[in-house]
């Protein structure tokens, strides 16, 4: 039966007693405040009728002792204690009010007041209304107390189930993700309104408490709650500032929040992990609200939240350390070689904290030579990082002495076998030196994916160099290949993480699509080409570590200058005439003209203009405000 149905049955049952004209039912709190009041007469049942609470408080002020026996107050006496209450009783035709107090629960009292019509109103209650009516009222109070205990027990069971569900769901969320901020936001959302009228969680960030998430049962007040918490307009400020973090646990206190938030009380749990404070969880409640999480629940949830924050912090620290180490294993700058352009990009796998073994670099050598290299160490973690450092140091040292790439790779192989390295690596190199028509390039591959030659006409083919894995056998069986790069041609080196990228249907990038993709992207600025490759060209997911090193032969550097947009076009045309003579165009391509006009219209002060090439191929790139426009001119 619902609470309303129970009240109607009880009240109208008492009204059916002989001489009963009306009935008051009320519940009082610890401080004597009226929590709820009802009035019933033969016209119906009303909850919280206007003025009745005040009328009752006036009557109870005259009876502070709360007598254990029923008290019958005649109308004339009642009028002296609460005239409005006497008028209400008299309007029913009653001659007095029979009041019975009873204890509902600890610190809470109930009252039943039966308006009765009896000729002997000044007699004892049992004599005035009859022992049966007095007994019926006492039985009614017993039923009310039993029903209240039953409701309280059901509510406690429901609350426990809600707490268990929230703990279970919170644990699942916190265990499933290391994005602790999103997880804590979800936990706060689960707690409101199930356990509290409001909630907030702070986490330690760079030595101070930062507010991570806020929730309010009234969505319209949620933003204001967050603003007041951030501004320190609440009693939890000392905990946030770290000046008091020991005496707040599990105690319900005044929140100190402005009245507009409507959350007068709060409970704070300081989150500790491994002996240090990592955060703070606060639950807020309306004064008199039924939701109050118990201490055991707070300790349990706080412990789980603290552990998750600590784990996420450790994870982020390790991730930063791994990324930092990874960056230290890669070169900070590549050589500036006239006639060659370098571009690199690197994808770090996001499923592990361990350092990958992909690396690349380029070394200036004597005699105008430069050698680019790229490698991939088997495995991950500290052993792979150590071998990566050994490989780069050995190769770059030998190459810097002017020795050949073959000699450098063999030296590394001998060293790995001599010191008993248990891992292997793959390696590719490309050595460039100037030739009459561009650059000659000698490629080498030791078990590595083949280097790709991308011609300026779009043709793509693999280098014919071959060899064995480094660090396995004494004889690497290296076979180099020599080619010529003309202006506009490019050479692309990469690790196997790129070719093993898959599309939605599970097909590998390297199986059929890598070479067509390179042909299609060949005209892009070289950094954009490398970035597009490492992103899987928009179709393939690169889920492993992958590195790309691209080198383009640009030919003669005819122009490098920063100029106003109005002067950039003429300067580029003059540089093209210097490269191509009579075959130079009279005007720049339309997209370059439009780009310069747009820069001028936007007030860009200067653009960077680059013109490279030879008589058969030229490239113009114009950069302004981080945007690039380019064009290739061929015979």
Q: What is the pLDDT of residue 269?
A: 79
The better pLDDT of the pair 523, 164 is held by 523
CA atoms within 13 A on the CB side of 373: 31
> In the prediction, which pLDDT does 295 show?
62
Buried b (16+ CB within 10 A) or exposed e, 389-404: ebbbebbbebbeeebb
Residue for token pair 């599309």: 503
Which residues are 347's β-sheet partners? 546
Distance CA 484, CA 440 (A): 4
- The DSSP-derived string for 595-610 is HHHHHHHTT---EEEE
Residue whose tokens read 């069971």 = 157
pLDDT digits (tens, 9 = 90+) for 362-393: 999 988 899 999 999 988 777 777 888 889 88
Share of the chain above pLDDT 70, in %: 89
Contact 508, 499 (CB under 8 A): yes
Res. 577 pLDDT band, cuts 50 70 90: very high
User: Which position has the higher pLDDT, 188 or 199?
Assistant: 199
Residues recorded for the chain: 635
Question: Tell me: the pLDDT tens digits for 514-529?
Answer: 999 999 999 888 999 9
Max mean pLDDT among 20-34, 53-67, 112-126, 592-606 falls in: 592-606
Residue with tokens 């059916």: 16
131-140, 533-542, 554-563 — which is least confidently predicted? 533-542
Is-contact 23 115, C-beta < 8 A?
yes
pLDDT computed for residue 417 by the predictor = 95
| Measured CA angle at 67 (ends 65, 68), to 5 deg | 135
DSSP assignments along 331-364, one per residue = -S-----TTEEEEEEEE--SS-SSPP-EEEEEEE
Three-class DSSP category at 50: coil
pLDDT at 242: 64
Using one digit for the tens of pLDDT, what is the confidence trace for 433-466?
A: 999 889 999 999 999 999 999 999 999 999 999 9
Q: Quick one: how far is CA 96 from the chain centroid?
A: 67
pLDDT higher than threshold 90 for residue 569: yes
H helix or E strand, kind and range, residue 214? strand 208-216
Q: What is the pLDDT of residue 163?
A: 66
**How many other CB atoms are found less than 10 A from the CB of residue 21?**
20
* pLDDT (tens digit per residue) in 317-365: 776 766 665 565 566 678 889 999 999 988 876 555 556 678 889 999 9
Q: What does each C-alpha distance from 558 to 104, 614, 616 come to in angstroms?
A: 96, 9, 14
Alpha helices in 209-294 (DSSP H): 219-231, 237-241
Instruction: Please write the tens of the pLDDT for every residue from 229-282.
Output: 888 888 887 777 765 555 555 577 788 898 898 888 888 877 777 777 777 888
**Cis-peptide into 170, omega within 30 deg:** no
Residue 177: the pLDDT is 60
Task: Find where tokens 């001028």 sit.
Answer: 600
- Whether residue 485 is predicted with pLDDT greater than 60 in this model: the reply is yes
Task: Please give the Cα distance from 396 to 568 (Å, whole number).
Answer: 40
Residue 291 has pLDDT above 60, yes or no: no
**Start-end ranges of CATH 3.60.40.10 in the chain?**
329-553
* CA 143 from centroid of its chain's CA atoms: 52
Whole-angstrom distance, CA of residue 1 vs CA of residue 7: 10
| pTM for this entry | 0.58
CATH for 329-553 (3.60.40.10, 3.10.180.10, 1.10.1200.10, 3.30.565.60): 3.60.40.10
Nearest of 380, 373, 513 to residue 448 by alpha carbon: 373
Through-space distance between the first and last CA atoms of the chain, rounded to whole angstroms: 92
- In sequence order, the 6+-apart residues with CB closer than 8 A to the CB of 587 are 573, 593
Cα gap 140→125, rounded to integer Å: 16
> What mean pLDDT, rounded, does the chain reach?
85
pLDDT of amino acid 122: 82
Location of structure tokens 């009859």: 130
pLDDT score of 610: 94
CA 630 to chain centre: 39
Q: According to the model, what pLDDT value does residue 339 have?
A: 93
Contact 481, 465 (CB under 8 A): yes
Fold of 3-152: Beta-Lactamase (3.30.450)
Average pLDDT over residues 394-399: 94
Q: For residues 546 and 67, give the distance between their C-alpha atoms in angstroms, rounded to a whole number.
A: 85
**Fold entry, domain 177-322:** Beta-Lactamase (3.30.450)
Fill in the DSSP letter of residue 243.
S
Residue 552 exposure: Cα atoms within 13 Å on the Cβ side = 26
Looking at the predicted structure, is the pLDDT value of residue 1 above 60?
no
- State the span(s) of the chain assigned CATH 3.30.450.40: 3-152, 177-322
- Going by the DSSP 8-state scheme, the letter that residue 21 receives in this structure is E
Per DSSP, the residues of 52-100 read HHHHHHHHHHT-TT--SS-EEEEHHHHHHH-HHHHHHHHTTT-SEEEEE
Tell me the longest C-alpha to C-alpha distance in the chain.
Answer: 131
pLDDT over 70 at 40, yes or no: yes
pLDDT bucket at 167, cuts 50 / 70 / 90: low
Task: Provide the percentage of residues in the chain whose pLDDT is more than 90.
Answer: 41
Report the distance separating Cα 441 and Cα 334, nearest Å.
Answer: 17
Contact between residue 521 and residue 337 where contact means Cβ atoms under 8 Å apart: no
């Amino acid at each position: 039966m619902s609470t309303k149905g129970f009240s109607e049955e009880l009240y109208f049952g008492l009204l059916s007693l002989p001489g009963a004209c009306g009935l008051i039912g009320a519940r009082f709190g610890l401080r004597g405040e009226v929590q709820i009041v009802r009035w019933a007469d033969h016209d119906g049942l009303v909850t919280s009728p206007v003025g009745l609470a005040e009328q009752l408080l006036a009557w109870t002020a005259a009876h502070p002792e709360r007598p254990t026996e029923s008290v019958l107050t005649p109308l004339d006496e009642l009028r002296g204690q609460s005239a409005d209450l006497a008028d209400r009783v008299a309007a029913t035709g009653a001659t007095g009010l029979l009041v019975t107090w009873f204890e509902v629960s600890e610190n809470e009292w109930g009252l039943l007041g039966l308006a009765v019509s009896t000729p002997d109103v000044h007699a004892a209650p049992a004599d005035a209304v009859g022992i049966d009516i007095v007994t019926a009222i006492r039985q009614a109070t017993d039923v009310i107390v039993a029903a209240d205990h039953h409701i309280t027990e059901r509510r406690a069971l429901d609350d426990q189930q809600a707490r268990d569900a929230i703990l279970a769901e919170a644990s699942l969320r916190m265990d499933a993700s290391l994005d602790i901020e999103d997880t804590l936001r979800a936990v706060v959302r689960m707690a409101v309104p199930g356990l509290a009228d409001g909630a907030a969680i702070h986490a330690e960030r760079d030595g101070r408490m930062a507010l991570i998430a806020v929730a309010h049962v009234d969505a319209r007040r949620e933003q204001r709650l967050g603003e007041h918490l951030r501004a320190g307009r609440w009693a939890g400020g000392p905990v946030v500032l770290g000046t008091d973090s020991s005496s707040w646990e599990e105690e319900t206190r005044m929140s100190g929040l402005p009245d507009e938030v409507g959350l007068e009380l709060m409970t704070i749990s300081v989150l500790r992990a491994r002996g240090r404070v990592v955060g703070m969880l606060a639950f807020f409640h309306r004064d008199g609200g039924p939701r109050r999480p118990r201490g055991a629940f707070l300790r349990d949830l706080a412990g789980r939240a603290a552990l998750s924050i600590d784990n996420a912090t450790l994870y982020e620290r390790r991730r930063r350390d791994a990324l930092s180490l990874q960056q230290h294993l890669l070169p900070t700058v590549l050589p500036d070689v006239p006639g060659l352009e370098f571009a690199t990009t690197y994808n770090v796998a996001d499923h592990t904290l361990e350092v990958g073994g992909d690396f690349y670099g380029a070394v200036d050598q004597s005699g105008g030579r430069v050698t680019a290299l790229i490698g991939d160490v088997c495995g991950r973690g500290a052993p792979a990082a150590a071998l990566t450092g050994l490989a780069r140091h050995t190769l770059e040292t030998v190459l810097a002495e002017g020795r050949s790439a073959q000699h450098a790779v063999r030296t590394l192989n001998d060293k790995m076998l001599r010191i008993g390295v248990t891992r292997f690596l793959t390696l590719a190199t490309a050595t460039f030196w100037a030739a009459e028509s561009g650059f000659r390039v000698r490629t080498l591959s030791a078990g590595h994916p083949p280097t790709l030659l991308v011609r300026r006409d779009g043709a793509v083919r693999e280098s014919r160099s071959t060899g064995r894995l480094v660090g396995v056998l004494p004889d690497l069986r290296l076979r180099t290949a020599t080619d010529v790069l003309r202006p506009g041609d490019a050479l692309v080196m990469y690790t196997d993480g790129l070719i093993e990228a898959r599309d939605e249907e599970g097909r590998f990038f390297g199986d059929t699509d890598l070479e067509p993709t390179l042909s299609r992207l060949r005209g892009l600025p070289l950094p954009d080409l490398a970035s597009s490759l490492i992103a899987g060209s928009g179709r393939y997911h690169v889920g492993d570590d992958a590195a790309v090193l691209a080198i383009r032969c640009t030919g003669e550097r005819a122009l490098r200058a920063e100029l106003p947009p109005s002067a950039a076009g003429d300067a580029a045309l003059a540089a093209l005439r210097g490269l191509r003579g009579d075959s130079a165009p009279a005007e720049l391509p339309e997209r370059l003209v439009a780009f310069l006009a747009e820069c001028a219209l936007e007030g860009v002060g200067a653009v960077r203009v680059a013109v490279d090439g030879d008589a058969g191929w030229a490239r113009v790139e114009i950069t302004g405000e981080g945007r690039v426009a380019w064009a290739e001119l061929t015979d």
